[in-house]
């Protein structure tokens, strides 16, 4: 499913929560802050690369760089590689890149 997704699938979900299930059953909420295209497709007819930015206002913990299962009511479970970018005005920021 991941190979078929594009930024257009995520644009209507900006501002909505995604959930990460951590070891021990704890759920960690991330909010989709943006979805944007960049560059040109790597192959003719391929999808354009895009990035997603997630935020979390929690000050007590952050997620290290790794692949996590993110759940969303419309998209279901997505295995995404999150990279922490550092704190911003809305909390810790994380990026996911699709190529």
Tell me the pLDDT tens digit for each residue of 13-23.
999 999 998 88
- Sorted by where each begins, the domain ranges of the chain are 2-98
Tell me the pairing of strands 50-56 and 91-98: antiparallel
pTM (global) more than 0.75? yes
CB 21 within 8 A of CB 72: no
pLDDT of residue 15: 97
pLDDT surpassing 90 at residue 9? yes
20 three-class SS? strand
21 vs 46: which has the higher pLDDT: 21
């Amino acid at each position: 499913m991941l190979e078929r997704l594009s930024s257009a699938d995520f644009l209507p979900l900006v501002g909505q929560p995604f959930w990460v299930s951590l070891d021990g059953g704890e759920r960690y909420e991330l909010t989709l802050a943006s979805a944007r295209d960049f560059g040109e497709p790597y192959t003719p007819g391929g999808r354009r690369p895009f990035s997603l930015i997630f935020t979390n206002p929690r000050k007590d913990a952050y997620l290290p760089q790794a692949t996590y299962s993110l759940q969303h009511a419309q998209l279901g479970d997505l295995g995404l590689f999150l990279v922490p970018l550092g704190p911003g005005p809305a909390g810790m920021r994380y990026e996911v890149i699709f190529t």
